Chains A and B, each alone.
Chain A
Amino acid sequence: MRLLTGSLFVFIVAALVGLGATWLSLTGDLRFGALTIGSWTAYPRIGTPDADPYARASIVRTGLLPIGLGDGVSFIARHDDAGRPLDGRCTIAVSGMTPAARFWTLTLYNAGGGLVANSLGRYGFTSQEVLRHADGRFTIAIAPRASAGNWLPTGGVERYQLALRLYDTPVGVATRAGNETPMPQIVTTECP
């Protein structure tokens, strides 16, 4: 009887801990090997055969085709530099420079990774489209209402995320945050 209750206890603990941890890591998007610069986070290893089991599970669960590391690197931002979640009802300025890359694209996605409908049919900017200041820096205004310069409409959604993708770039698994990897700042400038 002692053996039975004992082993039953062990199995219940094992099932709760094991399956619970799996469930948490699948739904909570637990991942390793993050490269975080400012508000931006990339997982360069997700585009390689070295992707760990957590990254693999995340890839198939979300239904994306990750960018291969020989192609580029994808950075995601879900909050501004002050830690506030990106809110589509506010005006947010993304400004500064990007690391060396032949091309980059900045795209606005909803929480599920889909595009957000807007009257302009504009979902992002490419490095060639963006208007720059004299020193090569740029400012993109992400706002629900039209503004001068680079305007990326939010469609008024409550939460969104930004993806900055660098194509043909030296940024990769060995990259550290530093002067050679300047990522744009994200600042909420106006919030009703």
Chain B
Amino acid sequence: MIRWLLLLLGGLLLGGIVHLVTMMMAPRTATQDAYARLALNAPVNTMTQIAAPQPGDAILTFMDPAFALAVCRYDLSDGSLKFSVPVSQAYTSVTFYTRQDIAYYAINDRAAGRRVIELDLMTPEQRAQLPEDEDVTAADRLIVESPTETGLIAVRALAPEPGLMPMARASLEAARCQRAD
């Protein structure tokens, strides 16, 4: 009897480990995550306008219909990226996601404090290779380090009223995401 109880305890402990490992692995097995959904129509290192969500037709879940959305699916394996977007009248935000859709950095127009949000996106290795003097002149440019080589930049512009949606769209049309060299 005691032997079986001990075996049960061992099984429970091992089950806990199995649970932790499978939970950590779960994001890697997903095929319907936001990145995979966007990969179908968003080319690499290019800004892509994402259509506003409609009933029964939205590329992502829980999209905010008050916002215009554009994404840049990036790949830093060939070098760093320069990103810029003019701020819209109401509210503009830029959020950086890893390949696993984790938001690792987000900035809005007020925090950026100027008419155009400009950012350099690079891996920690690429940042380490920046020449010293360039690092100084780059002081007025924000440098964002991506923990993964691939990921997403999502730019959102608010249309406070439906009639202002074309203006929010227009500011996103001017967004750029391209190789630094």
Contacts and interface: CB of A to CB of B under 8 A. Distances in A.
Q: Do A and B bind each other?
A: yes
Interface of A: 6, 9-19, 21-22, 25-26, 47-49, 51, 53-54, 56-57, 59-72, 74, 102-103, 105, 107, 109, 112-118, 123-124, 126-129, 155, 163, 165, 167-168
12 contacts: A13-B11, A17-B16, A21-B15, A22-B26, A25-B23, A49-B102, A57-B27, A63-B34, A68-B104, A70-B111, A115-B54, A116-B55
B32 interface: yes
Contacts of A155: 55
Given A48-B103, A60-B26, A9 B62 contact: no
Given A65-B95, A70-B95, A118-B55, 7 more contacts: A21-B15, A59-B102, A63-B32, A65-B60, A103-B158, A123-B55, A163-B64
Chain B interface size, under 10 / 10 to 19 / 20 to 34 / 35 or more: 35 or more
Contacts of B20: 53
A167 B91 contact: yes
B18 A19 contact: yes
Given A63-B37, A68-B105, A102 B91 contact: yes
A115 B53 contact: yes
A129 B161 contact: yes
A5 to B, nearest CB: 9
A156 B20 CA distance: 41
Contacts of A105: 64, 66-67, 158
A115 B24 contact: no
B56 A114 contact: yes
Contacts of B12: 13-14, 17
Interface stretch (B2-10, B77-85, B131-139): B2-10
A170 to B, nearest CB: 13
Interface in B83-110: 90-91, 93, 95-98, 100-108, 110
B64 to A, nearest CB: 6
A18 B55 contact: no
Nearest to B91: A103
B91 A22 contact: no
Nearest to A69: B106
B33 A15 contact: no
Given A65-B95, A68-B106, A115-B54, A53 B14 contact: no
Contact of A54 (B23, B97, B152): B23
Contacts of A114: 53, 55-56, 58, 61
B164 to A, nearest CB: 9
B171 to A, nearest CB: 15
A69 B67 CA distance: 17
B15 A17 contact: yes
Contact of A64 (B15, B18, B62): B62
B91 A60 contact: no
B106 A14 contact: no
Contacts of B19: 17-19, 21-22
Nearest to B67: A105
